[in-house]
Amino acid sequence: MKKYALLLTIFVLLIYSSCATNPMTGKKTLNLVSNSELFPASFQQYGKFIKENKVVQGTAEAKQVENIGVKIKEAAEKYLNSVGQNQYLNDYRWEYKLVESKDLNAWCLPGGKIVVYTGILAVTKDEAGLATVMAHEVAHALANHGAQRMSASKLQGLGAVGVALATGGQSAENQFLWQQLYGVGSQVGVMLPFSRAHESEADQIGLTLMAIAGYNPQEAIAFWKRMAAQSGGKTQPEFMSTHPSDATRVANLQNLVPQAKAMAAKFGKIY
């Protein structure tokens, strides 16, 4: 029993000592990975990706990605300055690239490295649609979602060790069964809801950022409806997905638009 108590103590101490308040959300978040560890690895990964893929340069679309990226960055700076967190972005190294790919995707690595795939431009349609996408991806980085996911994975692994210790005296068949139950239960009951919460959080932060940057947040709803149309309704059940359902996402955004407009008004943006 002593080893179980020790493991539980370590588990609790890890959680307690690794919670910090994120200035973008105002919430305490689990973070076992510091920016000093995460950002260099992120920048290296980004550099490798850029070398191995075709970056679009000099086109109107590439310039639009750059211009929107700068506006979103400045919006983040304005917001953080307003809450007394002007130092929060000190270690960010912003870059905004358009990359040739048919994928309907975009991403922002920790530290501000943003990539938009050309394939998604057919869905963004206009500058406001593209701002919706980029603000959402930047929001993931500003909320430290990457570090939180890594932290959660570490705790999930520690939990698996705990299950192994607790069932060590049982038959191999029972040990395997308990590990399987733990794996499915922790994934469906913890990790997937955790990911969906991050998506909803990025929607909320992204909506605010695009509004401060000068884009009507109402346009985000039109974009996500266009994205939903791309799936043709062929999506897996929400509880099995890393993302909220299309209907949930649109409904949440509709509820968040007034809040985003109110925040933008503080910075002189009226919609």
Q: What are the pLDDT digits (tens) for 162-173?
A: 666 677 778 777
What is the structure's pLDDT at 202? 94
Decide if 83 contacts 23 (C-beta within 8 A).
yes
Task: Give CA separation, 27 vs 21, 120, 143, 191, in Å.
Answer: 5, 32, 10, 18
Residue 267: its pLDDT value, please? Answer: 94
Please say if 95 is a catalytic residue: no
Q: Which of 43, 200, 65 is nearest to 109 (CA)?
A: 43
At residue 203, the pLDDT reads 94
Strand partners, 134: none
User: DSSP readout, 166-183?
Assistant: HTTTS-HHHHHHHHHHHH
pLDDT score, position 65: 98
Q: Which is catalytic among the residues 95, 137, 199, 201?
A: 137
Residue 101, C-beta contacts closer than 8 angstroms, at least 6 positions apart: 53, 117, 118, 119
**Cβ-based neighbours of 248, under 8 Å, separated by 6 or more:** 238
Give the residue ranges of the chain where pLDDT is below 70. Answer: 1-20, 30-32, 147, 150-156, 158-165, 176, 178, 181-195, 232-243
Task: Output the pLDDT for position 125.
Answer: 95
